[in-house]
Amino acid sequence: MAVPLQVDLPSDHYTVEDWLQLPETVGQRVELIDGSFVVSPTPLSTHQLCAKRLVRILDDAAPPDLEVLEAFGVRTATEVPVPDVVVGDANVIVGGATVLLPEQTHLVAEIVSPHNHRRDYLDKPRIYAGAGIPTFLRVELTGTAPPSVEVLHLRDGAYTLIAKANAGQTLELAEPFAVSFDPGILLGHRSK
């Protein structure tokens, strides 16, 4: 469950500049959402396994001008969410960036956590859409035939669902590059 971060700063409404001055943390993810620092503990192994495998799938398909990272911040005007997976400009990432700007971000993915359901379905899509990030993936690890992956594209300032696939089906992604996979490979034992 996410908890507020205790820091010695003179405000009850934090800014991007406050976030940028935080020390690096190990085992925690610190996001700036609605003027508050939100700290999430290390996720469950299934969440981490899914993120790692999604990064591998996307990274194998990505063109040379894009890089794929796990848990890297995207800086908007007033917030710094940290997507579970992000696809961004290779030059910026290889250059040692602290965060990506929205125009350097081509895809974000969130793996829905039980304690962060509201954030993954309401807050994060609002932030990403407002920032103009073109593609949003949402991965559900529970439900019927998990995992399931939704592909949402930005249209007229809001995300529109354009594809969804459950384990055993094929998900086709065209933007920011072509890739297809069965969401079932995101969890469970590796196939040889």
Domain positions in the chain are: 43-186
For residue 59, what are the contacts with CB-CB under 8 A and spacing of at least 6? 67, 68
pLDDT bin (cut points 50, 70, 90) of residue 3 is: very low
DSSP label of 22: S
pLDDT for the residue numbered 25: 67
For residue 71, what are the contacts with CB-CB under 8 A and spacing of at least 6? 29, 51, 82, 83, 84
Tokens coding 111:
């793996």
Give tens-digit pLDDT for 121-139: 999 999 999 999 999 999 9
- What is the rounded CA–CA span in Å between residue 80 and residue 124? 10
- What is the rounded CA–CA span in Å between residue 55 and residue 66? 12
Fold of the CATH domain 43-186: tt1808, chain A (3.90.1570)
Tokens coding 45:
């192994």
Contact (Cβ atoms closer than 8 angstroms) between residue 127 and residue 101: no
> Can you tell me the mean pLDDT for 33-43?
82
| Strand-pair partners of 69 | 86
pTM confidence score: 0.87
Whole-number average pLDDT of the chain: 89
pLDDT for the residue numbered 1: 45
Which region holds residue 60: left if phi is over 0, alpha if psi is between -120 and 50, else beta? alpha
- What is the rounded CA–CA span in Å between residue 180 and residue 31? 30
